Structures are given as structure tokens and as C-alpha cells.
Amino acid sequence: MGETNLDESGSTSDYELALRHFNVGNMKLDGGSPIEAATEYQSAIELWEHDARFYNNLGIAYRQRGELGGAEKNLRKALELDAKYRDAYSNLGLTLLDLELYEEAVVNFTVALSIDPNFWYAYNGRGLAYWALGKREEALSDYERLKNLR
């Protein structure tokens, strides 16, 4: 999940350089600098556009900057590249929560859970979406599952 195929066009050295940008981006994101992180992820994508992780993390950086349209676009691109990338479904679900698109958020969290039934983070997000929709029983059920997983 969230990996790339080195059979795509491009050279191994391009991919290695892209990975360096990706790793620096991760350090920037973890350090609370989403603007700098986004720049690194964009550099990685310019070198190697076939890695879903690059788009996923760029989506996270955009979301942290409050640029929800950019976040959604990049998270959807990550899922085009890897339809089984549970983290991208969950991150898209969080972005959709921010956009108040609660039904679509539920769908994305549910897909993440179909990929990994023990993915506690998706139970939490789906519970938030259910709660926002007024579906209290479903939300409480997800929170109970979450409690049992942690």
C-alpha cells in the first residue's frame, strides 16, 4: 500500500532523488512546517509522479495549510495510483469532514476499514462523520470498536 512501481518511466536515480525530497518533506511536516513540506513533496512529484505516497503527503500538507481543494485533489490522485492505500482514504475522509461532506467522508473511512479492519484511525474519523450526520448509534458503535482496538 502506498508504494510505487519502478517499471514506470523514469530512472532509478530520479526515484532516489524524489525519495530524498519526500523524506525531507516528512521531516518538515513532522516539524510543523507544511508549506516547506509541500515544496519538497512537489519536487518529489516533479521527479517521480508514480508514487502515491508523494501525493498523499502533499494532500496532508495542503490540509494542514487549510487548502482543502488542493488536499482533496492530491489525495484523489494518490488513490488513482494505489486504490488500496488505506491511509489516503482516511486522509481524504478527514479532508471531506473539513469540507462538511459527511456522507462522502463516511464512504472513504469505510473503504479504509475494508482494507484494514483494525485501522483505528478510520473508526475515529467515521465516528466523527456519523456524529455530524446525527447518526449517534453508528458513531457510538465506531467509538466502541475504537476503544477495543487501542
Could you list the pLDDT tens digit for every one of the 150 residues in the chain? Answer: 565 444 455 567 999 999 999 999 999 999 999 999 999 999 999 999 999 999 999 999 999 999 999 999 999 999 999 999 999 999 999 999 999 999 999 999 999 999 999 999 999 999 999 999 999 999 999 999 989 886
Cβ-defined contacts of 22-25 (< 8 Å, 24+): 22/51, 22/53, 22/54, 22/57, 25/57, 25/58, 25/61
Q: For the full predicted model, state whether its pTM sits above 0.75.
A: yes
Rounded to a whole number of angstroms, the CA Rg of the chain reads: 16
pLDDT, position 149: 86
- The confidence score (pLDDT) of residue 11 equals 67
CATH 3.20.20.150 fits 1-82, yes or no: no
1-82 and 84-150: identical CATH topology: yes
Number of H helices, E strands in the chain: 8, 0
Determine the pLDDT at residue 16. Answer: 96
Q: Write phi, then psi, for 50 (nearest 5 degrees).
A: -105, 10
Residue 53: which residues within 8 A CB-CB, separation 6 or more?
A: 2, 3, 4, 22, 78
- The fold of 84-150 is 1.25.40
Q: Please tell me the predicted confidence (pLDDT) of residue 1.
A: 54
* pLDDT the model gives residue 60: 98
Domain coordinates in residue numbering, the chain? 1-82, 84-150
